[in-house]
A and B are shown apart, each in its own frame.
Chain A
Amino acid sequence: MSLQLDNVTLSVRGETYIDNASLTLEPGSFNVLLGHTLAGKTTLMRLMAGLDKPDRGVVRLGGRDMTQVPVRQRNVSMVYQQFINYPTLTVFDNIASPLKQAKVARQEIARRVEETAAMLGIQHLLGRYPQALSGGQQQRTAMARALVKDADLVLFDEPLVNLDYKLREALRVEMRKLFESRNTIAVYATTESAEALALGGTTTLLHQGRIVQSGASGEVYRHPCNREAASLFGEPPINLLPMSIQGEECRVAGSRQPLPEAWRSLPAGEYQVGIRPHHWSLQPVPEPAFRLPVVVRVAEISGSETFLHLSHDQIDLVAHLIGIHEFGVDQALEIQVACRQLFVFEPGGELLLAPYSLRPALASV
């Protein structure tokens, strides 16, 4: 059954929470909702689940209008940022609770609980109480409870935020496997671009209650429909610089280059370009490239990579470089980016051209 939102709007006390959202989620798909805090991810999920009713618009499940159907009569499950389990019930009873509610036969319950627990690697903890478990185990229990009942729609509201890095990686990989063979619609809200890309499936970008773009995750990342989508998807966010085309020449923030072949379709005028932070280079690039004089604000070294916060003529830029690069504050530098790695936006923000090849610069030489 596919889930379909048609022009769904929700406002509370004059404040718009969800603004005219339309979205179709296919059965068996894994869908990421990506957006900043307060973008409306949780609200959108509540609308999908039926916890809230939209002011306008229709929610359809398998073609049937579910807008007025309360959550108790739907077949949904949800996993939260907090680890929500019944404190007085054992892990077994926690996982079994939706099945007991649905009056499933006893032996069937035992079989399905054990199967689901085994899938999530908590079969040895079934006799314990949630309090006696680690955070990761508690969240696995909550996930098992959500998965055990074969819901039409499973919602994950930033489920991995409160877990440590290693567990997150592990659970993220498992999540994809859990849904590969299922016919449910999975929706996963997150604030992290990396998570959206790692989970694959589709990504829907949300900003201030609006759906900015929706599509296959990699596709949305490589072809953001506009400046806003490009800024939302990617961490650190994409760098934006003015660009102008005059005759046979183009200019990015003062740096001139002959007009690249792929840009010839663009008429002369003012544009804006987007540069992903990891496309900047400190070394000369062996192909047509823009060079920018910049001043170092902060060099943030994290492990074996460096985030350089720079400024060029009042414009703040970020470069994500592999390796450790130590720079003093206010040190002057020149950074470069290959012409073919630029996104070109029209002044209004719509995407005109995406990078024409994302293969590493050296590989193409």
Chain B
Amino acid sequence: MKTYNNKAWWLVLPVFALVAFSAIIPMMTVVNYSIQDIFDPNTRYFVGTEWYREILADPRLLDSLLRQFVYSLCVLVIEVPLGIIVALSMPRRGLGVPVSLILLSLPLLVPWNVVGTIWQIIGREDIGLYGWILNSIGLDYNYASNPRDAWATVLIMDVWHWTSLVALLCYSGLRSIPDVYYQAARIDRASHWAVFRFIQLPKLKNVLLIAVMLRFMDSFMIYTEPFVLTGGGPGTATTFLSQTLTQMALGQFDLGRAAAFSLIYFLIILLVTWVFYTAMTHNDDKG
């Protein structure tokens, strides 16, 4: 007969409590809302999956979902290669190292709404430097009225804000490659491309995985910058998912719908991140 000592459960209890209050209870509250129609705290009706069915057929939401995917894709396509290029061109020793590290970290320290405000001002055609330059060289740039310009501005803002993160991650990955690899490559007469393809890229794989996931999740939840810049406009051109959700939950106080929507939102991020992760690690056994 084996005797069990259950005292160890006490040690796990704080973690249970923490997870319960920080994740499980809020999440279940949302689940609870998503299957009810709530008028006031005492008047509520069970509606089953109605909210979900309605949302998945709502063109406004599907539009902003599509917009969101296009946006996140653009962010990844621009920031990841750019970050790698920046990391590759950073100095490996000397005074340039701390200088470039500090310069690269600066954008990361700026809060989201400040970034939005900076670009809102700098992009104005009357008092903003970039807006004025673009217009004075004959480009008709106005983020407040032109959806294409608003889009470009939000994208540039994100690139300005977050490419350094990718670059710093890649730089740390590059620094972990011993010098002898480069030496061996020189002796093998390998080209610069071959050095990148067969030495640097394989070493960067792990940090790139982290960079891609972070940038995807973060850009998929973008809210503050377009909100500060144009409030999601012009029209709904830069209204991304989280803003649509906020409008629904707080603007219209449509709690059931918003709850169902946020669950779907959450599942999408989870699914896409899982796909990225699996795709980038599935042939790890090959090195």
Residues of A participating in the B interface, judged by any CB pair closer than 8 Å? 46, 49, 51, 71-72, 76-78, 80, 82, 84, 86-89, 97-98, 101-102, 129-132, 145
Contact = CB atoms under 8 A, between A and B. Distances in A.
Interface in B119-140: none
Given A101-B190, A130-B287, A78 B202 contact: no
B176 interface: no
A76 B286 CA distance: 29
Contacts of A77: 187-188
Q: Which size bracket describes the interface of B in this complex? A: 10 to 19
A89 B186 contact: no
Interface string B161-196: 000000000000000001011011011111000100
Contacts of A84: 180-181, 184
B198 interface: yes
B157 interface: no
Given A80-B180, A87-B202, A89-B198, A129 B287 contact: yes
4 smallest A-B Cβ distances: which pairs?
A131-B287, A87-B287, A129-B287, A86-B198
Contact of A78 (B183, B189, B190, B194): B183
Interface string B185-219: 01111100010001100110000000000000000
A77 B188 CA distance: 7
B178 A82 contact: yes
Given A87-B202, A88-B286, A49 B187 contact: yes
Contacts of B189: 72, 98, 101-102
DSSP class of B's interface residues: helix, strand, loop or mixed? helix
A213 to B, nearest CB: 28
A71 B187 contact: yes
Contacts of B178: 82
Nearest to A102: B189
27 contacts: A46-B183, A51-B183, A51-B187, A76-B187, A77-B187, A78-B184, A78-B187, A80-B180, A82-B178, A82-B180, A84-B180, A84-B184, A86-B198, A86-B202, A87-B202, A87-B287, A88-B202, A88-B287, A89-B198, A97-B188, A97-B190, A98-B188, A101-B188, A129-B287, A131-B287, A132-B287, A145-B188
Contacts of A130: 287
Contacts of B184: 78, 80, 84
A71 B286 contact: no
A44 to B, nearest CB: 15
Interface in B236-287: 285-287
Contacts of B187: 49, 51, 71, 76-78
- The residue among A71, A76, A86, A130 with the most chain B CB atoms within 10 A of its own CB is A86
Contacts of A88: 198, 202, 286-287
A51 B186 contact: yes
A130 B202 CA distance: 13
A115 B245 CA distance: 66
Nearest to B199: A86
Nearest to A78: B187
A78 B198 CA distance: 18
Contacts of A89: 198
Given A71-B187, A130-B287, 17 more contacts: A49-B187, A51-B186, A51-B187, A71-B186, A77-B187, A80-B180, A80-B184, A86-B198, A86-B199, A88-B286, A88-B287, A89-B198, A97-B188, A98-B188, A98-B189, A101-B189, A101-B194
A88 to B, nearest CB: 5
A188 B199 CA distance: 26
B41 to A, nearest CB: 60
A131 to B, nearest CB: 4
Contacts of A102: 189
A14 B70 CA distance: 57
A86 B201 CA distance: 11
Contacts of A49: 187
A167 to B, nearest CB: 21
